[in-house]
Amino acid sequence: MENSHVIANKQTKGKCLFCGRDMTRGGMIRHLPSCEQRRQAIDEKEYDRRIEQDLYHLQVSDPYSSDYWLNLEINGTAKLADFDDYLRAIWLECCDHMSQFSDEGEYGREVAMTQRVFNVFKPGVEMTHIYDFGSSTVTVIKMVGKRRGMPLTSNPVFLMARNNPPEYICEECDKPASWFDMEALFNMGQFICLCNEHAESDPDGYTDEYIEIVNSPRTGVCGYTGPAEPPY
């Protein structure tokens, strides 16, 4: 879906949730293994006497837009169903659609949700996740690292970094936009963005058709409205 009103950035940046630094998607992969604050968080957990586990560093991204990406650490014993739950919560869930992992691209062989992460992700392996087989949202998952140690959370997934929200400009005044017009999207295929002021003024009488722009590749699909927030 082409949008001429997104503020152009040469490379989308994101924030490291350990140290707060902003960097590009590729830079984040290189940064996280050496991030001092992450190393300190790991060292603090090493005093925990629980059994060590294999923890996988995964990068999740939208293959059709460089704007959206996540860096996650997931427990090797977690099931793909746990991973699916996380992706739904932070990026995807709107109407309880079906979803699927595959290991040979978007139309590849399905991998069961009962599979464990350590059985699926190997160096160089790329997985695809599809949510909703009507108005699909596709994400690509790459294993970019692994460590042996204590997890940083009791939950199966830990968010280490994510893209900063893409910046859009208002169709009417070129101020930062927070809303887009679903009526225009459905009727004309146009992603028209509006600032708070012009969305509230509602010159065309379609106030109920304005949806808040959220930090998710599913924005504008199937009436998705978020929350696009980490579930834990």
What are the residue ranges spanned by the domains of the chain?
A: 13-163, 168-227
**pTM, to two decimals:** 0.88
Selection from 114, 137, 113 nearest residue 1 by Cα: 137
CA distance 130 to 144: 20
Residues of the chain by 3-state class (helix, strand, coil), percent to 5? 25, 30, 45
Kindly report which listed range (73-77, 155-159, 199-203) carries the lowest average pLDDT score.
199-203
Residue 200's H or E segment, with its range, is helix 196-201
13-163 sits in which CATH class? alpha beta
At 57 the pLDDT is: 97
How many residues comprise the chain?
232
Selection from 26, 39, 223, 44 nearest residue 147 by Cα: 39
Average pLDDT over residues 196-216: 73
Selection from 214, 218, 163 nearest residue 27 by Cα: 163
What percent of the chain lies above the pLDDT cut of 70?
A: 88
Torsion of CA 47, 35, 227, 170, to 10 degrees: 160
